Amino acid sequence: MRKLKREAYNLNNIKMLQQDVKYSEEVIEAEFSVEGYSLVDYKRSYTLSRALVNGKWIVYDGNRLESSQKIKEFEICEDFYHESVKAWPNKEKYSRLFTNIKLNEDDQLKVISKKISKSILIHDVKECREEKVVNYVEYNDLNFSYAGNPKDIPSIVEYLRASQSQLTSPSRQVLTESGRLTFILDSEIVASIFHYVLRNFLNGNSPKLKLNEKISSEITIYDNPLNSFSSSFSVFDDEGVKTKKKEIIGDGIITNYLGTLTSKYGEAGNARGILPKPDYFSLEVKQGDWSLNELIDESRGAYIAMGVKKSELIRNSIRITPRSVVKIGQGQIFFREIAIPLQELVTIDAVTRENRGVFIDEEHGGVTPYVRMKVRAILY
């Protein structure tokens, strides 16, 4: 790993970090619905200059700026070109990907592929470039994203179609229990829970949990920007800091924060945005020892919640509307939502070996297992 050398970049004397940022993307967007079919392509880009002045990023137009505050040390970025860039198709080739995809009359499919190029010139000395292709697939109300060759899109559509059929049942029972119940939560729900934990409670600008505080058992969580399959894959952050896999929670204990060059807490490497703020890239939860079948067998009378229709954070409680809920041994159940207060994370008592990549939103991906814990079921 090549660190930023103080001799070469004179970090000791730098009071103001200056950067020129360039971003461009080529986009192909396809949509299929009962209303018809569309295929469009377009480009967009921006360039800007910014400087780190007294602990804050300022976008400027060439005027002289001054700063008196020393910046954090950091590992400088390096170039990276994802192999998928070589396979970027033109509009005609892209349209052929959908030739053999069969949709039902009521199905809706939207696919967006982007070839993204970004560069950061640091202090007129070092320029870092990154190029990649990311793909977003929305099939009815299911989503998937990945970095890689668009030719895999038909396989992703089939995967989402199969997932939807598993979540669809012609008959559902109404939940007669409420309150604090034992649930097995699938990978998508687990990712959604810790998405809120990382962004809202472990933000290096204003963390709400203390280092070394124990919030759970069994759980170890990383931010891994270097997961090359994730749509949020990146070898450097938006401040030009080289990224790395970072443990945030270890065995349920807070070990780190999401940090930037300007954050009060946390190691730099999690900056995202034109005016960079602390954020994670790709959330990974360490696998456990349970097999999913074993966990289900050992959880008779419990519930399995799958998929996320909607989620929100209300104070210290994460509210999730699952796509489907099954009571083990009885079948599919209908109810409104589940609530996971932060303090209930201590009830996690099982984590599966099985894990899978999940879509959180366009900026975040995840690789997460199933977990068993107590949640609060809300009927109305």
Domain finish residue from 167, 185, 204: 167
Strand partners, 137: 111, 144
pLDDT interval class at 44 (50, 70, 90): very high
Q: How far, in Å, CA of 277 to CA of 206, rounded?
A: 11
pTM: 0.88
6 inside domain: no
Contact 192, 308 (CB under 8 A): yes
Token pair listed for 261: 């060059």
Token pair listed for 131: 């190029």
Domain check: are 346 and 224 in the same one? yes
Classified as helix, coil or strand, 93 is helix
Distances (CA, A) of 84 to 87, 145, 217: 5, 14, 39
78 inside domain: yes
Looking at the 3D structure of the chain, how many domains does it have? 2
Domain check: are 130 and 191 in the same one? no
Domain finish residue from 167, 192, 218: 167
256 inside domain: yes
Q: What range does the domain containing 243 cover?
A: 173-378
10 inside domain: no
248 inside domain: yes
Domain check: are 193 and 113 in the same one? no
Domain check: are 220 and 300 in the same one? yes
Higher pLDDT, 340 or 66: 340
Domain check: are 155 and 182 in the same one? no
Domain check: are 249 and 280 in the same one? yes
Residue 211 has pLDDT above 60, yes or no: yes
Closest C-alpha among 184, 185, 167 to residue 324? 167
Angle 334-339-340 from CA coordinates, rounded to 5°: 135
Question: Tens of pLDDT along 224-276?
Answer: 999 999 999 999 999 999 999 999 999 999 999 999 999 999 999 999 999 99
Q: How much of the chain exceeds pLDDT 90, in percent?
A: 68
- Pick from 65-69, 123-127, 297-301, 341-345: least confident: 65-69
pLDDT confidence of residue 62: 62
Higher pLDDT, 172 or 213: 213
Domain finish residue from 167, 192, 222: 167
- Pick from 52-66, 95-109, 178-192, 227-241: least confident: 52-66
Cα torsion 351, 196, 271, 13: sign: negative
pLDDT interval class at 116 (50, 70, 90): very high
